[in-house]
Structure 1
Amino acid sequence: MQDTAKFWDGIAEKYATSPIKDMDAYTYTLERTRSQLSSSDRVLELGCGSGSTALLIAPGVHEITASDVSPGMIAVGRRKAEADGAGNIRFVAADVLDEALGAEPYDAILAFNMLHLLPDLPTALARVNRLLKPGGLFISKTICRPVAGSGWTRERMFLSLMMGVLPLLQLVGKAPFVRITRIADLEGAITRAGFEIIETGNHPAQPPRRFIVARKALG
């Protein structure tokens, strides 16, 4: 975990200023997420990065805890929140298993572009389930393997190339852990963790970033 934090610490400032590659897809999933939340909700975001999405979610909820394994990312997020005058965001340097996330259950947990970075997805999803209130929502967006027969788009070719060189980059500390799965495998893992999937979509379509809204069982 220290190596992972060190990697993201090293790129925190650059990451914070990098433009969003597909603004239409980002805006759509942001609005779908907002539509699932209410002004009374306590929300946890896992893998918040530099806090950009947390800052956009914050005005529509009671409070949001924005967490990331990287202290460097959290430092950038706190700086941005202070500049924006956002008073209902709590930034925490922690991973999904960390006790610093608190014991009181959340109404909703968000995980955008981070599930593929987890070495032990089943354990992480079980922890998400425990952190949620009965009936609470788990909202995620995750890059997945291209759908069969979708053709060789430029994005798909780039992803294939990156996955080929990724082990070499990881050996020299230039890339984090990454495991890109099929959509069916991702949704199966979420279902087995005790969730009912109530909304899905690919935004963008290729390579698919699977947007999933899942509800924890009531009892």
Structure 2
Amino acid sequence: MMDNAKFWDKIAPKYAKDAIADMPAYEYTLERTISYLKADDRVLEMGCGTGSTALLLAPHVREIVGTDISPEMINIARGKASDGGTTNAEFRVANAKDSANLQDSFDVVLGHNLFHLVDRAEDIFADVYRMLPVGGYFISKTPCLADPAFGFKRHAIRAILPLMKWIGKAPAVRFLTHADLESALKFAGFTIVEAGNFPAISRYIVAKRV
């Protein structure tokens, strides 16, 4: 077995080259996210990976900070920003818990394909709530591998993942449902503004501190 940071470091080069599995779903949720952003916003993206989404969002905001547990992912993100001449995107190595406790001021916090990979996501939601100003948005997209909407595949994945993790072919994963996520966000104090499945496995949620 290997820890999550080492796992993501190992696959970072391949991850950076892989095509997005469901481009229409990605483009739709990207468009929806942009609709909540303002030109003067300062944005945090936790679990930014190689920075692809952060760099697409950068032209729509004042500044975006991307964090990830993997130093190799962050190195690739910094290279993309430099190559593309993006000057309002910063990338830092940090896990989700530390990211949600940054002393910086942010108007919007994002977390895509992250919260099924961390322990105690509920605590992170509470930290993000405290981080945001009134009216701030928390936008997330999370694979919900335990949700009935995912169908029979959820049983097969639950059966094979422990072995995949043991041999270093998969990270540690939590099996969540749509209801798990939405209940945790509401418990943290958020009001859910928008939610949907894009694609079916992933729950896209826009939550607001009111």
Please state which band the TM-score falls in when normalised by the shorter chain.
over 0.9
Give, in whole Å, the separation in 2 of the partners of 1:35 and 1:141.
16
Give, in whole Å, the separation in 1 of the partners of 2:100 and 2:93.
8
How far apart are 1:28 and its partner, in Å? Answer: 0.1
Give, in whole Å, the separation in 1 of the partners of 2:25 and 2:32.
11
Q: Does 1:14 align with 2:9?
A: no
Q: Which moved more, 1:174-183 or 1:51-60?
A: 174-183
How far apart are 1:135 and its partner, in Å? Answer: 1.6
Map 1:53-68 → 2, pairs under 5 A: 53-68=53-68
TM-score of the two chains, using structure 2 as the length reference: 0.93
Q: Which moved more, 1:117-126 or 1:72-81?
A: 117-126
Give, in whole Å, the separation in 2 of the partners of 1:163 and 1:100.
29
Deviations 1:105-152 (A, max 9, x none): 21000001111111111111112112212221000011114654x585
Consecutive unaligned residues of structure 1, counting only runs of 5 or more, are none
Q: Is the 1:137–1:214 contact (alpha carbons within 8 Å) kept by the matching residues of 2?
A: yes
- Structure 1 runs of 4+ aligned residues shifted over 3 Å read 99-102, 145-148
Q: Which residue of 2 aligns with 1:186?
A: 181
Q: Which moved more, 1:160-169 or 1:78-87?
A: 160-169
Give, in whole Å, the separation in 2 of the partners of 1:53 and 1:163.
28
Give, in whole Å, the separation in 2 of the partners of 1:216 and 1:204.
26
Give, in whole Å, the separation in 2 of the partners of 1:56 and 1:126.
27
**Equivalenced residues, count:** 209
Q: Is the 2:142–2:203 contact (alpha carbons within 8 Å) kept by the matching residues of 1?
A: yes
Q: Which residue of 1 aligns with 2:208?
A: 215
Pick the aligned partner of 1:169 from 160, 164, 171.
164
The alignment partner of 1:125 has SS state of helix
CA 1:31–1:184 in structure 2 vs 1: closer, same or farther (change >3 Å)? same
Consecutive unaligned residues of structure 2, counting only runs of 5 or more, are none
Give, in whole Å, the separation in 1 of the partners of 2:145 and 2:8.
23
Q: Which residue of 2 aligns with 1:29?
A: 29
The alignment partner of 2:173 has SS state of coil
* Residue identity (%): 48
Deviations 1:189-209 (A, max 9, x none): 01101100011111112x3x1
Q: Which moved more, 1:123-132 or 1:22-31?
A: 123-132
Equivalent AA in structure 1 for residue 44 of structure 2: L
